[in-house]
Amino acid sequence: MTDLPSSLAAPALFALLCWWFGTGAILWLVRRPPAAFRRSLVLFSTLLALSLWTTQQSMQAQTVANAYLGFASVIVMWAWHELAFLTGWLTGPRRVPLTPGAHGWRRFGESTRVVIWHELALLLNFGVLLAMQQGQPSHVALCTFAILWCMRFSAKLNLFFGVPEVGEQYLPRHLAYLGSYFRKGRLSAFFYLSVAASMAVWVWIVWEVVSGRVVVSTGWVLLASLLGLAIVEHLIMAFPTPMQKLWGWAMSRSAAAERVHP
C-alpha cells in the first residue's frame, strides 16, 4: 500500500507534463516565422520515424519502461500531426473561409474539405499501429493513439455543432480562416453526450481497479490520466479559460513574433 501513491503519481505527472509541454511547444513553433516551418517539420519528421521504431519496441513486453516508452513515442507522433496541420502543410484542399450563409450539408462538406488530408493521415497512422500491434503483448501505444484520436474527433465535432469557447484567437495567423468554420454559441446536445460518454469510460476504467478486476499498472495510469486531461480540454470549451496562464511561455513570445513577422 505504501507504494500505491507513488505508482499513481509518477505516471500521472508524466502524462500531465507531456500534455502541458507538448501543447506549449506546438503553440510556440507554429507562431514562429513561416521560414522556420521547414526546419521544424524536418526535425519532427525525423522524430516521427524514430518514434515508429520505439513504439514497436515498446509493444514487445509489458514493463514499466515500455509503458513510458510507448506513451511518449505516440505523443511524439501526435506532435508531428499537430505541427503538420497547424503549419498549414497538411490540412485539406480548401484553404479559404467558410462560404457566408453556408449551413447543413454544405457547411459540413466545406468543413470536411478543410481538414480531410489531416484526418486521412491520422487514420493511416492508426492503421500502421494496428499492424505493428499484431501478436504483441503491450497495448499502451495503440490505446494512447486511440484516446487522442477519439477525443480530438469529438472536439472537432463539438466545434462544428457549437460551443461557447471555440478558441479561434489561438489559431496561428496563417490559419485564421479556420475560425469561420467554428460555431460559437450555446452548448449543443452533442457536447453533453460526448462529455458524458467520455466520463463514463473514465469512471469505468477507475472502477475496474477499485473493484479489483484490474491491477494498477503504469500503462493504466498513463491512459487514465490522458483521458482525464482530454475531458478537461472538452470542458474548457464550455467555460472561459485564460490559456495564457497555462502556456504563457509559448503564447506571449509567439504573439510577439507574429507582430514582428506579419
Tens of pLDDT, residues 16-52 = 999 999 999 998 999 888 889 999 999 999 999 999 9
pLDDT of residue 6: 60
pLDDT of residue 194: 97
* 132, amino acid identity: M
The total domain count for the chain is 1
Mean pLDDT of 179-205: 96
- Identify the domain containing residue 214 by its residue range: 4-260
Residue with cell 522556420: 36
Q: How confident is the model at residue 244 (pLDDT cuts 50, 70, 90)?
A: low
Give 100: exposed, middle or buried? Use CB within 10 Å, 0-12, 13-18, 19+. Answer: exposed
**Is it the case that residue 261 has pLDDT exceeding 50?**
no
Average pLDDT over all residues of the chain: 90
Q: How confident is the model at residue 250 (pLDDT cuts 50, 70, 90)?
A: confident
Total length of the chain: 262
pLDDT of residue 256: 45
Q: What's the pTM value of the predicted model, to 2 decimals?
A: 0.92
Angle of the 218-236 helix axis to the 4-29 helix axis, nearest 10: 50
On whether the CB atoms of residues 214 and 220 are closer than 8 A, the answer is yes
Mean pLDDT of 85-111: 96
**Is it the case that residue 243 has pLDDT exceeding 70?**
no
On whether the CB atoms of residues 115 and 135 are closer than 8 A, the answer is no
User: For residue range 206-226, what is the model confidence (pLDDT) as tens digits?
Assistant: 898 888 888 889 999 999 999
